Structure 1
Amino acid sequence: MNMLSAQMPKNTIQCLRILRIAQNYQTVSAACYTTTVDVLDIFTKELLQRHRCRLRNNPLEVKNLSIRYFMDSENSQKDIKNMTTEELDEVVLQYIAKNKDTKIIDLLRDLIKHHKHISDITVKKLYRNYSIAGKSDIIVLLQKYSFKLYPQMHKQNGEFMHYLATAQCMRGNSEKGLSILADCYKNNEQLRGFYRLIFRELIQDSVLNRSEASLVIFKKYVLEFSEKFGDHYPLICFWHLCWSSSWFSDQTLSTELLENSVKLQEIIRDRATAFSITILREEFNEDAVLRLLQTLLKYDMIEEYGKVLQVLFSYKIRIRDIRGCTEIIRNCETLGIALPSNQQKRFIKMLINGKHGPDSKPAKPSLKNFKLKF
């Protein structure tokens, strides 16, 4: 045993190999060498315990570098006292990229406490990011930061309340969000053009995401903006999206808007032809045009009805839909509406050429990037 101890290498890995050999040897012939193996077990266990103690005392050993070690290193608190604006911007952008909301909150509190600046571009990036994410609590903290460190920018941007309104709507609190936006619109006349765009984006998100409860609330506020402030843009945007939608509930809502707003009826009278041209050219939505024709008849807008019918007839000729053109001609005869001579000539020429059936239509584009200009 003394000879074995003298020959034992100091390298711990080799010691562990000897331990493995000894344990295997014990399994094979424990009956013949019981005393020797017991002594060897005691010796090798003592070596192993010493090795483990050394690992515990040395934090740089590989065995001690666990996942928790790296997480603790990454999550260690940043000392911002001596950091430049550029360095702070980099830290913020890293936290945003990794969705470290808790770290952003802690950092903002430290920035307020130590009166440290990040760039105004980074401030606005934080506002946009967390308003879309619906993190209203972080928006409130950002408002405290910009109020203390960027008071002029804070005032010029209406205290960034529009971001809080957006965050509330994204969280599903449409009533609260639109109420905030209405107050912003009332108190900041110089920013009303910007608030109109915010309202349009919120309307689009609500309609396209099929939020039935939100649609009722949006209907209330677009009518309020139209009647109280004389701003009809949100009302037109809301009507247009509901009118062009393939969902029956949205189409019903567009009809209700027309019934509740005389001003909307006047706008539809003036813009019916433009709406029809746009929706056929960009979305190939014949059903929406047919619904618009019914609306024009309902409100006795015969002149506008004839103009929209001409637009639809030109579209039917372009896609070579003879059946559709024939139906329009019959409709004109019933209502006593005359189509222009050039359209009649194009229809006769199409009949002579004998090309029946509509050509294949392009795929309907997405409404994701909807923009309404008028």
Structure 2
Amino acid sequence: MAMLTRLTSSGTTTVAPGSPKGLQRFQNYLTAFLWPGASQRQQRKASTQLDAIDCFTNDLVNRKTQKWEELRENLMKPVAEDSNYGANFGQNVGLMSKGMMSDLKTLRSPQLGLDIRSLSQPQLDNLLLATLEIKNKVDFLYLIRQCVRWQQLPCNEVFISCLKYLSSLGRMQQLESLAETCRQLKHPFANTYSDLAPFKAIALWHNGNSDVALMTLHRGYGGSLNTDEGRRMIRVAFRTIVEETLAQKSEAVLISLIDVARDIYREHKDIFVVACVWKQCFASDWFCDQKSAGELFEHYKELQQLVDRRASPLCSSFLSRHNIDAVHRLIEVFLQHNQRTACGNCLSLLFNYQYLRKDLRACAEIVKSCSELEMPLNELQNEQFLSLFLDQSDPFETTAGNRSAAKYKTKSFQYKF
């Protein structure tokens, strides 16, 4: 078999035609001999493909750069040119990809970012509300930093929404900065909410600092009682912590809550916090919680009077959650303390609840208990019980017409018990 040879700088090199390199070179020589223009066309084709890829890449980069420039230009437009700036800001930011977040940080620097000093009060309010509505945390926190830096706060209503959102996020640093700003500006919130104590307490609670949260509530409680709004907000914060404590079944935190409630009552003679803890413990399914509720009820005469006055709303609250056991225990408590009016109201509400569910046995037990306790139901409830009894006891009343007729007959008479 013939051997292929090629000249090199060191001499002649022999290549075996059976080797892969020899076959490839042989095919190249044969192609060049038979079709002299083929190799040039392949080179031009390869060059054309590379040019197309380069053009596509350049076009992609240019489009991305152009999109960023347009977006940046939109963000930097004066507010007067766009009345919907607050909404467009969050929308434009939402269109960015994750890869552009570093550029966004640069854009939001104090030298390049939005300066709220150029905004009017309504424009600042609308911008903050827009970020709150769409839960745009990044833009919201940026605006809050601007408010602190330039000591420009939104209107009271928007400010409350901002404080609630910050407390839900557990942002103590921002809350501390806003509290300091309120003190410097002598903003009414500094006194109304006792240095923003309710919001700080919720933020601390969400961060897991339960002891510090309760301490913050305790310290700020007295100052918040000076105004109706302050009293309402501090109570909402306390109730929130109590409800979440019982939901998490944290016995250690419950003991701390009871201690704080006792201290607040002793210092400010406000029974609300004690009643708040009592209600949650009383409604609990756990025996230890119910025992704590019983001890509080026995110890505070004011708590007994408050529960007696609010027996109907309290019972309705339990029934709305279908907590029948709590209603039964509440009736027993009223009987033990000879609170007959409150007991009668609870029995009446419990009868209405069972009647709507067509529970004849439960209604019969209530009627019997009312008779033994000499707390009769009203005339309408007596008629309802008799109607329910006849509907379920007559086997011949199978059609809707017969049942309607029976109801009509029972309502045409007056029954006395």
Provide TM-score, normalisation by structure 1: 0.65
Query: 203, 211, 214: which one pairs with 2:248?
Result: 211
CA pair 122-312 structure 1, distance change in 2 beyond 3 A: closer
Q: How does 1:1-374 map to 2 (within 5 A)?
A: 32=31, 35-37=39-41, 39-40=43-44, 43-44=47-48, 47=51, 51=55, 58=62, 67=97, 71=101, 74-75=104-105, 76-77=107-108, 78-80=113-115, 83-85=118-120, 86-97=122-133, 99-116=135-152, 118-148=154-184, 150-157=185-192, 158-191=194-227, 194-204=230-240, 206-207=242-243, 210-213=247-250, 214-245=253-284, 250-268=289-307, 270-271=308-309, 273-275=311-313, 278-279=316-317, 282=320, 285-297=323-335, 299-301=336-338, 303=340, 307=344, 310-311=347-348, 314-315=351-352, 318-319=355-356, 321-328=359-366, 337-340=373-376, 346=382, 350=386, 354-356=390-392
Of structures 1 and 2, the one with the larger relative CO (CA 8 A, separation 6+) is 1
In structure 2, the CA distance between the partners of 1:344 and 1:302, relative to structure 1 (3 Å rule), is farther
Tell me, in whole angstroms, the C-alpha distance in 2 between the residues paired with 1:51 and 1:248. 76
Instruction: Describe the shift of the 1:221–1:193 C-alpha distance in structure 2 as closer, same or farther (beyond 3 A).
Output: farther
Amino acid at match of 2:248: S
Say which is worse superposed, 111-120 or 53-62, in terms of deviation.
Answer: 53-62
Counterpart CA distance in 2 for 1:203 and 1:60 is 52
- TM norm structure 2: 0.60
Amino acid at match of 2:277: F
- Letter paired with 1:84: L
Seq. identity, %: 17
Give the AA of the match of 1:181. Answer: L
Distance 2:321 2:172 in 1: 36
Shift of 1:72: 5.3
Instruction: Say if 1:187 and 1:46 are closer, same or farther in 2 by CA, change over 3 A.
Output: closer
Letter in 2 for 1:32: T
Give SS of 2:196's match. Answer: helix
Q: How much does 1:305 deviate? A: 7.7
Q: SS in structure 2 opposite 1:355?
A: helix
* Alignment check: 8 A CA contact 2:370 2:376 kept: no
1:321-345 residue CA offsets vs partner (Å, 9 max, x unmatched):
5433544566578xx6334386699
Displacement of 1:46 in angstroms is: 6.9
CA contact (8 A) 1:162 1:195 kept: no
Residue 238 (structure 1) shift: 3.0
CA RMSD of aligned residues (A): 4.6
Q: In 2, Cα distance between the equivalents of 1:81 and 1:283? A: 47
Count of aligned pairs: 325
CA distance in 2, matches of 1:328, 1:184: 46
Q: Is contact 1:130–1:167 with CA below 8 Å preserved after alignment? A: yes
Contact 1:273 1:311 (C-alpha < 8 Å) held by counterparts: no
Q: For 1:82 and 1:191, locate their aligned partners in 2 and report how far apart those are by CA, in whole Å.
A: 32
Paired with 1:176 and 1:80, the residues of 2 have a C-alpha distance of 36
State how far apart, in whole Å, the 2-side matches of 1:160 and 1:46 are.
Answer: 65
Shift of residue 232 of structure 1? 0.8
Are residues 177 and 290 of structure 1, via their aligned partners in 2, closer, same or farther at CA, if it must alter by over 3 Å? same
Distance 1:263 1:122 in 2: 37
Residue type of the alignment partner of 1:40: R
Shift in CA distance, 165/350, structure 1 to aligned 2, threshold 3 Å: same
Instruction: Identify if the C-alpha distance between structure 1 residues 318 and 107 changes in structure 2 by more than 3 Å, giving closer, same or farther.
Output: closer
* Structure 1 residue ranges without an equivalent (≥5): 1-28, 358-374
| Distance in 1, Cα, partners of 2:284 & 2:339 | 25
| Cα 1:337–1:272 shift into 2, 3 Å | farther
Report if aligned partners of 1:242, 1:250 keep a CA contact under 8 Å in 2. Answer: yes
Give the secondary structure class of the aligned counterpart of 2:270: coil
Q: Is the 8 A contact 1:181 1:195 kept in 2?
A: no
Which residue of the partner structure matches residue 15 of structure 1? none
Structure having the higher Rg: 2
- Cα pair 2:274 2:303 within 8 Å, conserved: yes
